[in-house]
Amino acid sequence: MAEQQVKVEAESALVSAPASPPVVAEVPLNNATPSDDSKALVVVPQPQTPPKKLESRRSLDRDVALAEVTKEKKLAYVKAWEESEKTKIGNKAEKHHAAVVAWEDKKKAALFLELKKFEEKLEKKKAAYAEKMKNKAAMVHQEAEEKRAVIEAKRGENVLKIEDMAAKHRATGTTPKKPTMGCF
């Protein structure tokens, strides 16, 4: 820090005290020979300011330059801090976004797994229900076959009964009391 101050002071001293060249003015000489067109250069001395004022001016310039450098240093520090904080915030936000994406993916995977299990369960239920319905259909078919068999058996019995009665009527020569056809 001290080394930087010495550099700043040296630079500000060079910047604040520019060397001004002596003012040169052309002054015509009052000689007796006016035909001579030559002009002489005369150095006009500048009024010198007291050394205290010059030193105080240099000191003031140095202080101003030092204050400006300090201000720029602070501004640079603030800017660097701001960029650092923005970077930290951005990284933190990205980390949180990644966590949210991972959470979302995890939840979606769990839901799809649950859906798959539910679909498999439904498929099993569907297969079991289909099997149950096929069994019921087979039972209905079996009952229908049994009923058909009963009907055929009754029909066969009735046919045999009618044949026996017809044979009996033929043998006795009588006619049946009930007409088989209701029209006559």
The arithmetic mean of pLDDT across residues 45-49, rounded, is 64
Closest CA to 41 of 59, 21, 25: 25
Ramachandran class of 141: left when φ > 0, alpha when ψ lies in -120 to 50, beta otherwise: alpha
For every residue of 10-59, DSSP letters joined together read: HHHHHHHSPPPPPPEEEE----S-TT----EEEEPPPPPPPHHHHHHHHH
Mean pLDDT of 44-70: 74
Over residues 107-126, the pLDDT tens digits come to 999 999 999 999 999 999 99
| Mean pLDDT, range 101-112, rounded to an integer | 97
Answer with the residue of higher pLDDT: 42 or 135.
Answer: 135
Distance between CA 102 and CA 95 in Å, rounded?
A: 10
Cα atoms in the 13 Å half-sphere on the side-chain side of 72: 7
**The pLDDT of residue 57:** 73
State the CB neighbour count (10 A cutoff) for residue 92.
10
- Strand-pair partners of 42: 25
Kindly state the percentage of the chain with pLDDT values over 90. Answer: 58
Mean of pLDDT values over 42-51:
62
Helix axis angle, 51-172 to 2-16, nearest 10°: 120
Dihedral of CA atoms 79, 80, 81, 83 in degrees, nearest 10, equals 90
